[in-house]
Amino acid sequence: MMARSDKAFSADIPALARAIRAGERATLARAITLIESKRPDHQKAARALVQELLPTTGRAIRVGITGMPGVGKSTTIDALGTFLTGQGHKVAVLTVDPSSSRTGGSILGDKTRMARLAADPNAFIRPSPAAGTLGGVASKTRETLLLAEAAGFDVVLVETVGIGQSEITVADMTDFFLVLMLPGAGDELQGLKKGVVELAEMIAVNKADGDNVFRANAAAAEYRAALHILSPRSENWAPPVITYSALTGAGIADLWRHVLAHRAVLEKSGEFDQRRREQQVKWMWTMIEERLIGRLKSDPAVKARLPALEAAVAEGRLSPAVAAEEIAQALGA
């Protein structure tokens, strides 16, 4: 697909940035591939590209979406994304999936459930890189998000298909964190993770259609009661609980109305800008940690010492603290 060599392609950063700003989808896809590359020269070029595009980023509405397996994340994204493109928006869909190297990623696996959005000229879908670790996937997703914004996508939906830390990571890179739930509050409420709910800007109960409407409304009432005893993420926003149907589209417009209302409230209070600034600093520290770990794994002196140190720690002959100090000294830290 590349007309030029990788080296020429990655070196022509200004031309690449111009094509992305012009909304050239093929160039955007190639630039994301450049970002995901592990080659040092590609990584250097990717950093230069993101820096070049930085002034044209940050304007999109960033929505994180999570939920238990079977809740209908893909069908929800398909319904919401199609609704938004129908309203004149350009929508990018990204995933954070630390297991994508094994499973192929949620979006790849559920493409048929996002058939409308996949064929929509105003939508762009990109699964996680098969990086295998949350830190690696998250850093690439953040950079991909910036590229999508520079290309003119004004809504970015970031889906977390992993568990635990991946949900916190997605909440830290988005403006609005949406937790999807199923009807039948009795069982689901027991498995509702406090940490995830405290991050939620809204809980949305899916499958509120047909015979499920009553159960969905009952579940929503249970979740509202649960939220009352938890500390909200923001003192300026009380997370609502709504019902909707990804299958019929009922409630999708209301879901989006709450996203816009949340942004208006946070912008008025100044919290929106503060969050964005904090996210940038967190991103910087994530990148620092990634670079240090990379250096640790590639440093010859450390690599030579690691097998013996690991064996000594495993056998109880050396404490982990002393071993860590030896590794730090080998790095010159």
Mind giving me the DSSP string for 5-27? -HHHHHH-HHHHHHHHHTT-HHH
271/267 Cα distance (integer angstroms): 6
What the block records as the tokens of 101 is 């190297």
Question: For position 222, what pLDDT does the model report?
Answer: 86
Question: For position 104, what pLDDT does the model report?
Answer: 46
Number of H helices, E strands in the chain: 17, 7
The reply to whether 219 and 236 lie within a common domain is: yes
The reply to whether 197 and 249 lie within a common domain is: yes
154: nearest Cα among 32, 60, 44, 76? 60
Count up the domains in the chain and report the number.
3
The reply to whether 125 and 41 lie within a common domain is: no
State which residues of the chain have pLDDT below 50. 1-5, 8, 10, 103-108, 110, 190
The reply to whether 8 and 87 lie within a common domain is: no
Question: For position 247, what pLDDT does the model report?
Answer: 92
Structural domain contains residue 209: yes
Helix (H) or strand (E) holding 64: strand 61-67
Give me Rg for the CA atoms of the chain: 22
20: which residues sit within 8 A by CB, 6+ positions away?
27, 28, 31, 53, 147, 150, 151
Structural domain contains residue 186: yes
The reply to whether 164 and 312 lie within a common domain is: no
The reply to whether 180 and 305 lie within a common domain is: no
Domain boundary (55, 82, 100) is at 55
Per the structure, the complete domain to which residue 103 belongs is given by: 57-268
Question: For position 134, what pLDDT does the model report?
Answer: 65
Structural domain contains residue 277: no
The reply to whether 215 and 290 lie within a common domain is: no
Structural domain contains residue 273: no
CATH of the domain at 32: 1.20.5.170
Question: For position 192, what pLDDT does the model report?
Answer: 57
Question: For position 193, what pLDDT does the model report?
Answer: 63
Question: For position 1, what pLDDT does the model report?
Answer: 40
Question: For position 4, what pLDDT does the model report?
Answer: 47
136/142 Cα distance (integer angstroms): 10
Residue range 129-165, pLDDT digits in tens: 765 566 667 778 899 999 999 999 999 999 987 666 7
SS (H, E, C) 112-167: HHHHHHHCCCCEEEECCCCCCCHHHHHHHHHHHHHHHHHCCCCEEEEEECCCCHHH
